[in-house]
Structure 1
Amino acid sequence: MDMKTFKRSTLNVKVLFAFLLTAAAAEGQSFHQGNCPQPSVQENFNVTQYMGTWYEVEKLPAMFERGKCNQATYSLLDDGTVKVRNVELLANGKISSIEGVAKVKNSSQPAILDVSFFRGVPDAPYWVLSTDYHSHALVYSCSDYFGLFHIDFAWILARTRVLTGDIILQLHDKLTAAGVKVNRLTVSDQTGCDVMT
């Protein structure tokens, strides 16, 4: 590659990076330079105990979430994969839902899953960083792009629509230790959700 081609390629990458940064900022995404962090995950994760419904308490901004009353229900399928059903209440009063399948990538690390919602679209990582199975869970997802930047997501989940402040602070500490900026977390609206039941 000659110097002119190299400079043009470098410029194209910078323009792409600037464009994606602007788009991500507009959507409130958590967009960062460099590779994804590699946080530790829940030890001895038991996928069966994790099944059931979880309610979103806090999250990093996610452009694919537009409503409130966000919740996810997980069901173990016969082949060992997990059915995922995400539901939210939109501003117009309609309930929006999407279904996908999660699978453990490596049986020696059952807390690291990949989730697929659409054919032909790469799976999304789903890392359970911490859970006690009956009250709270902390989930992290991060995707690298060209080794130049990454976009990450995080969710604090609960078995009820509220979670005590002390548990939230503990989960914030875990995210901070993982290199996630907790000041970007937003509180999820779990009010007026009776229509969801």
Structure 2
Amino acid sequence: MFPIFWILLLLPLVSAQTYHWGPCPTPSVQPNFSLQQYLGTWYEIAKLPAFFERGKCIQADYTLRGDGTIRVLNSQFYKGKVRTVEGTAVVQDPKKPAKLGVSFSYFTPYSPYWVLSTDYVSGAVVYSCTDVLRIFHVDYAWILGRSRFLPVEEVEYARQLLAKENIDTFKMSVTDQTGCD
């Protein structure tokens, strides 16, 4: 009875998300990932629904801190204002540097932030998944660009890469990057 209670309690939260039955998939990540090359500004081109991202002009800035953690500064234009949130990313296993963890609160554990593919200069594909009692999982995926717009072929390549890794992109939507500073 206890797990059913929690599932029912969590369903409204995940209703705006992409969720599927069973545990998270385990996609391949970028081989020989270079964190130094990945740092900098990335613009959100497309994403699976995320309750914390509802605006436009969404971007993320990654900078290395002196203690070796990564400062993550996400921003979006929402309800007439630029809204930012700062978090921390860490490389959780030096042998798998493309599998980062990210947290936006001292009170929450690190969530997966896996770089599936990047050329560092144009685009990147990022995936995150959270298991809920291994009964179902909530997917997040982002197609990112170093500029606010990517060629259609690059976006299609990213979608195909996600699909090849058994990540459902049906609910993926394009992020509005027009009229941004």
TM-score scaled by structure 2? 0.95
Q: Look up the match of 2:40.
A: 52
Q: Once the 2 structures are TM-superposed, how far is the Cα of residue 77 of structure 1 from its aligned partner? A: 1.4
Q: Look up the match of 2:164.
A: 177
2:7 and 2:72 map into 1 onto residues whose CA distance is 32
Q: Look up the match of 1:3.
A: none
For residue 184 of structure 1, give the secondary structure of its aligned residue in structure 2: coil
1:123 equivalent to 2:113? Answer no
After TM superposition, list the pairs within 5 Å mapping 1:85-100 onto structure 2: 85-91=73-79, 93-100=80-87
For residue 183 of structure 1, give the secondary structure of its aligned residue in structure 2: coil
Larger Rg: 1
1:24 equivalent to 2:14? Answer yes
2:88 and 2:5 map into 1 onto residues whose CA distance is 35
The count of aligned residue pairs is 181
> What is the CA deviation profile of residues 113-136 of structure 1, one whole-angstrom value per residue up to 9, with x for unaligned ones?
011110111211100000000000
1:167 equivalent to 2:154? Answer yes
After TM superposition, list the pairs within 5 Å mapping 1:2-17 onto structure 2: 9=1, 12-14=2-4, 16-17=6-7
Report the AA paired with residue 58 of structure 2. Answer: N
The one of 70, 74, 81 aligned to 2:69: 81
Report the AA paired with residue 75 of structure 1. Answer: T
Gaps spanning 5+ residues in structure 2: where? none
For residue 170 of structure 2, give the secondary structure of its aligned residue in structure 1: helix
Gaps spanning 5+ residues in structure 1: where? 1-8
TM-score scaled by structure 1? 0.88
| Structure with more strand by fraction | 2
1:134 and 1:168 map into 2 onto residues whose CA distance is 15
2:132 and 2:69 map into 1 onto residues whose CA distance is 27
Q: Look up the match of 1:69.
A: 57
1:135 and 1:151 map into 2 onto residues whose CA distance is 27
> What is the CA deviation profile of residues 46-99 of structure 1, one whole-angstrom value per residue up to 9, with x for unaligned ones?
0000011000000000001121100000001122211100000012x2110011
